Structures are given as structure tokens and as C-alpha cells.
């Protein structure tokens, strides 16, 4: 009897890498010449899953966002981890950008992923289980084809593949 293999598709982020990236951003901005003497703030609210960036102008805010994304990529995180909610004026003539930290797959997108897996016509099954998608199959090669195909497609959530058994 052949053993059944499986893996999970999730959008979980490594919180420690996320915090490391934020600390690296703070260090880099403190040493950058274009930010000398200007107010800025990088604030991660873990409970609300929000990242708040404050800078003296729109240009500085864009530069700060670019630094954040580059540090995320260096830490192995996707740039899709952040979803911009709003940019507004803050106190003292500064600009404030609020980002939602995306660490889940929306139901609509999860259904689309499972439909795409079924369209591949491989001998695998995909089930939505809470905030992840479990893909099962007897052939490891089929599971690897699924991973390759899902990675090559464009998704809203920062997908990760884990628990390969």
C-alpha cells in the first residue's frame, strides 16, 4: 500500500524575521544622510498587525517604504506581507502610512487556489482547512508539480509551503 504524502499552503510569516527586518530598517535609516535631522518613525503594532511609517515628506515616506521592502526581501519575506491601508497627514507636518500585515489567505483566494490545483488534473486533492490549504497525493512528483505551478502564479497573499510529509 502506497503512503499518502501532503503539504500545506499558508500565508504565515516568520515573526522573528519580520521583527529583525524592522530593526534593520531603523538602524539603516538612522545612519542615512538623507534622513539626518528629519523626523521618522517605524512602529510595528504586533497585536493589531499594523506597521506604521512616519516621515517628514512623501518622498521620505516612499524611501522609507523602499527600505522596509528591501529588508524584508533580505530576510526571506515577501513584499506582499504589507498591504497599504492609508497615507495621511500626521502631527508636526509629517506624513503617515499605515500598512496591514498580511499573514492569512482570504477565502476567495483559497478557493481559487484549490480550483487551479484541480485544473492541473493530477492525482492530488486540495482542501481548505482554516487558514491553510492541505494538498494530499500518493506521488511526491505530483505534489512538487503543484508547488511549482502555484509558485509561478501571481497571488495576493504571500504564500509559503510547509509540512511536506
Check if 5-12+104-162 and 15-101 are the same fold.
yes
CATH annotation of 15-101: 3.30.70.990
Percent of the chain with pLDDT over 90: 0
- On the CB side of 66, CA atoms within 13 Å amount to 6
The helix-helix angle for 15-31 and 58-74 (nearest 10°) equals: 130
65-93: per-residue pLDDT in tens? 888 888 888 888 877 778 778 777 777 77
> So where are the chain's domains?
5-12+104-162, 15-101
Q: Would you identify the CATH topology of the domain 5-12+104-162?
A: Alpha-Beta Plaits (3.30.70)
pLDDT tens readout for residues 87-127: 777 777 778 888 888 777 777 888 888 888 787 777 877 77
pLDDT band of residue 1 (cuts 50, 70, 90) is very low
pTM, full prediction: 0.74
Amino acid at each position: 500500500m502506497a503512503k499518502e504524502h501532503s503539504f500545506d499552503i499558508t500565508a504565515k510569516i516568520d515573526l522573528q524575521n519580520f521583527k529583525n527586518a524592522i530593526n534593520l530598517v531603523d538602524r539603516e535609516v538612522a545612519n542615512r544622510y538623507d534622513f539626518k535631522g528629519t523626523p521618522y518613525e517605524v512602529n510595528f503594532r504586533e497585536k493589531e498587525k499594523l506597521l506604521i511609517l512616519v516621515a517628514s515628506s512623501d518622498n521620505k515616506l516612499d524611501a522609507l517604504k523602499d527600505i522596509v521592502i528591501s529588508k524584508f526581501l533580505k530576510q526571506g519575506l515577501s513584499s506582499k506581507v504589507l498591504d497599504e491601508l492609508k497615507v495621511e497627514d500626521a502631527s508636526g507636518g509629517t506624513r503617515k502610512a499605515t500598512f496591514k500585515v498580511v499573514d492569512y489567505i482570504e477565502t476567495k483566494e483559497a478557493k481559487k487556489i484549490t480550483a487551479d490545483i484541480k485544473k492541473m488534473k493530477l492525482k492530488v486533492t486540495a482542501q481548505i482547512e482554516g487558514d491553510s490549504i492541505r494538498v494530499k497525493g500518493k506521488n511526491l512528483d505530483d505534489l512538487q508539480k503543484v508547488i511549482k505551478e502555484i509558485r509561478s502564479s501571481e497571488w495576493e497573499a504571500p504564500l509559503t509551503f510547509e509540512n511536506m510529509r
